[in-house]
Amino acid sequence: MKQQKMEELRNYRFGEKDGWRAVWMGEHRELNLAEFLKVKRYLYANVQTIKEVHLQQYMQQSLLKEVFEWMDTSPVLETIAITIIDLSVESLLGLARVIQKVHSIQTLLLMNHGRALPIEGLKHVCTALKSSSIQRLILRGYEDMPPLDDLFEVIQIMPYLRSFSLNWSNIGEENAFKLAQVLSKTSIQHLALDACDITHLGTQAILSAILQCPTIEGLNLNKNDLAHDTCVDSIVELLAQNRIKELSIRDHYTMEQYMRIARDGVRECLSIEKLEVFPHGYSGHEYENAQAFVRLMGFPPLLKSLAIGRMNSQRGIVQPFLKRLHSEEAKILVALVSVNHVKRLGEHSPLRKLPVELIRRLNDFLNP
């Protein structure tokens, strides 16, 4: 029986801690209706425990209706993640029905790579979001985003929404200005707009709006046009407000702008916990640039994660100092001064107990 069950589930992956808590469908090869019907009874039998559903690229469009009907019966579903599936208007309407009916949903992720999102289908989802309890809303990787008036209207009346992401979606200038106009009316705490094809005019509008939004504690504007003095002025002012905890602002800054962010912004910010900022286009000088940046910024008391260079410069920056440390300290330092990307902190991360002495020793290294 067990062997038969495993054969029937071969195109699914289940997280089985404390029962079936999560299910992935269409992860490795094409999933058709006949295969879904084989596993359908297992899904319904465990509908009381499954909290996460991940629908992935090898799932046929015809299956979505069946899956959404099953989701409708869930009393505990918290996360819906649909990745690399070209959603039709009909599919988005089915998703909207699930959102309206299942009030336990906290996270909704729609992700694709370079495809368009049907505007009529998005309207159905927006209507459903009005009465939802969703806390994290993510639309990632969509090209040529249509006008998002409906979406920006609905995020103003989502009382539980805390995290809003449009990363890698080409929202463009017009949508950036519209988003800036409504930010102060939302409850968003973390805004992610990585690589959204926004010029410095749009990023300046976003930054100006955030300066008036005391709820926002995390901001990602990586790979947009930030390297203008007006944007740098706003970044420095935002850091000086002492409320931003996470900030990702990579762009082609001049060295003067880069150092000003360190000296006038980060150094004055007592709230910053994660920071990602470094200039592109200075190959061969990463080590010196990183040293200069850290010297100017000092060590904010809550800083846990810092990205100040490119991956190929990591060894050159930290290797000399690692030789002076014990192995466990070295692991902590690599996470603290990660120059390729910001490390995610786990619940049991040693960074939560980062010794003050280690920070002092790093400071001594960077300030010989």
Average pLDDT, the chain: 80
Residue 294 has a pLDDT of 73
In sequence order, which residues have a C-beta less than 8 Å from that of residue 242 and are 6 or more positions away? 268, 269, 270, 271
What's the pLDDT tens digit per position in 223-248? Answer: 899 999 999 999 999 999 999 999 99
pLDDT-derived band at 361, boundaries 50, 70, 90: low
Residue 35 makes CB contacts below 8 A (sequence gap 6+) with 11
Supply the pLDDT for residue 169: 93
- The domain spans of the chain are 226-368
pLDDT at res. 295: 75
Q: Where are the alpha helices (DSSP H) in 193-339?
A: 200-210, 229-240, 255-260, 286-297, 314-322, 327-336
Strands 190-192 and 218-220, by their bridges, are parallel
CATH class of 226-368: alpha beta
pLDDT of res. 357: 54
**pLDDT higher than 50, residue 19:** yes
Characterise 317 by phi-psi region: left (phi > 0), alpha (psi -120 to 50), beta (else).
alpha
CB-count exposure of residue 136 (10 Å: 0-12, 13-18, 19+): middle
- pLDDT, tens digit, 9 for 90 and up, residues 251-295: 888 888 988 999 999 998 999 988 888 665 455 566 567 667 777
Phi, psi of 108 (to 5 degrees): -125, 120
AA letter at 32 = N
How do residues 316-354 score in pLDDT, each as one tens digit? 444 444 444 444 444 444 444 443 333 333 334 444 444
Instruction: State the pLDDT at residue 140.
Output: 94
91-102: pLDDT as tens digits? 999 999 999 999
| Residues 52-71 pLDDT 10s | 999 988 888 888 999 999 99
